[in-house]
Chain A
Amino acid sequence: MTNDQGHLMIKTALHAGRIMIENGSEVARVEDTIRRIALNAGYPDSKVYVTITGIMMSISGEENAQIEPVTSRSIDLEKITQVNDLSRHFAAHKIDLAQFDDRLTHLDQHPRYFPVWLQLISAGLVSGTLEVVFRGNYPDFLVSCLIGLVGWGVFYGMSQLVRVRFLSEFLAATAIGILAILAVKFQLGTNADDIIIGSVMPLVPGVPLTNAVRDILAGDLVSGIARGMEALMSAIAIGSGIAMILQAM
């Protein structure tokens, strides 16, 4: 086992770990995947330290640990699944380390999102259906769909423009609040509260919230609390956007 092989293994494993954290995986899964990659590459004794802002890894008995910073975080469960699949292929010896690294680079550079129109329609449907499920208000179904769609459009557009998640959430919530109150004023809807509750649902920070709980339960306290703060910030951004409009109008 030459040292080059070890370097390639650490590079590939860190790359896989970074993609997983960037796209919203929980810390225990990342540790597990990195350790399996090391095991399958012939290093059963590796040391990994994962937080949601960076990963450190070394092989026991060899010098030079390596660090991989994680600077951006978004949500894309497809990428996590694909890294998982690649790791399985590697474990089954269908691909070797160099191919693994190539495919990770390819995966990182060519994300496969659902088309924007489908995302918009989905956001509308999430809003409408959950509004009815939570409040049982059938007459406002269509208005909620429409306002939820516009809200997600604002969120998506602002995310492309400024890349600060909290700001996009705040502006989307503000837009939703204004539109809901206007819709009731012009008699398109019956209850502004119900419309807002439904339309805000696509923005709910479900992934950070679930991961915060899972991380804390798994004992990754640092990441769990950081992730909880992320979810709390999103909730505050949405809540203050709505609160501002409710006070103003």
Chain B
Amino acid sequence: MLNLIMDLILTYIGTVTFGILLNVPRRGLNIGGWIGALSFLFYRLCMMANMGIAFANLVGALIIGILSMQAARYKKMPVINFNIPALVPFVPGGQAYQMVKNFALGNVSEAISFLLQVMIISGSIAFGFLLAEMVNRVQARVMLALSSRWRHEHRHNPRL
């Protein structure tokens, strides 16, 4: 439990500082950090419930995608300000490193098994983003049908 809380604090710091490296505007840094920590919490909960690494990454990416879109609407900033820093804790850095190391040292079969893990993780992150995009489209449709104020605010958006 203590470990989890510590990890969440570290994830927040890591996300915010990665945002600084990408030159994210100051007003977007804090909220990006929260998105990173929250999605990482759900990722860890899925891992604790033994749901498998692919599903956990998919859930994490899905939550990043949905929350980033809400943050982008709220702050009126492009969505990449939030979802790229928040994605950093999900990068399969450990597996990618093991892959490179095993290739370099000549253990090809082990390297290929790590390569497959990297592909599984990145694939599920991509599909998590795809699902999040779908959720956002559905949300836009629902809001369009229900709220006349929202329809007025977004009347120039050609994508709707």
Contacts and interface: CB of A to CB of B under 8 A. Distances in A.
Interface of A: 24-26, 29, 32, 35-36, 39-40, 75-82, 84-85, 88, 91, 112-114, 118-119, 121-123, 125-126, 129-130, 132-136, 152, 193, 196-197, 200-202, 204, 206-207, 210-211, 213-214, 217, 235, 239, 242-244, 246-247
Interface of B: 3, 6-7, 10-11, 13-14, 17-18, 20-25, 28, 40, 76-78, 80-81, 83-85, 87-89, 91, 93-94, 96-98, 100-101, 103-105, 126, 129-130, 133, 156, 158-159
A210 B17 contact: no
A133 B10 contact: yes
A79 B22 CA distance: 11
A99 B85 CA distance: 32
Contacts of B84: 77, 206-207, 210
B76 A204 contact: no
7 contacts: A29-B78, A81-B28, A125-B14, A130-B14, A130-B88, A197-B97, A247-B104
B14 A207 contact: no
B77 A206 contact: no
Contacts of A244: 104
Residue from B11, B78, B89, B105 having most chain A Cβ neighbours under 10 A: B78
Q: Chain B CB within 10 Å — which of A25, A114, A196 has the most?
A: A114
A206 to B, nearest CB: 5
Given A77-B24, A207-B84, A213-B126, A135 B103 contact: no
A134 B10 CA distance: 11
A122 B18 contact: yes
Given A196-B97, A213-B129, A214-B129, A26 B25 contact: no
Nearest to B85: A206
A186 B61 CA distance: 40
B22 A206 contact: yes
Contact of B81 (A81, A211, A239): A81
Contact of B78 (A80, A134, A202): A80
B7 A39 contact: no
A211 B83 CA distance: 11
A130 B21 contact: no
Contact of B10 (A40, A123, A132, A206): A132
B23 A113 contact: yes
Nearest to B98: A193
Given A126-B17, A242-B97, 9 more contacts: A40-B156, A112-B23, A125-B14, A126-B14, A126-B18, A130-B93, A202-B18, A207-B80, A242-B104
Given A36-B158, A123-B17, A133-B10, A76 B23 contact: yes
Contacts of A25: 78, 80
A191 B28 CA distance: 35
Contacts of A197: 93-94, 97
A211 B101 CA distance: 27
A88 B20 CA distance: 24
A143 to B, nearest CB: 16
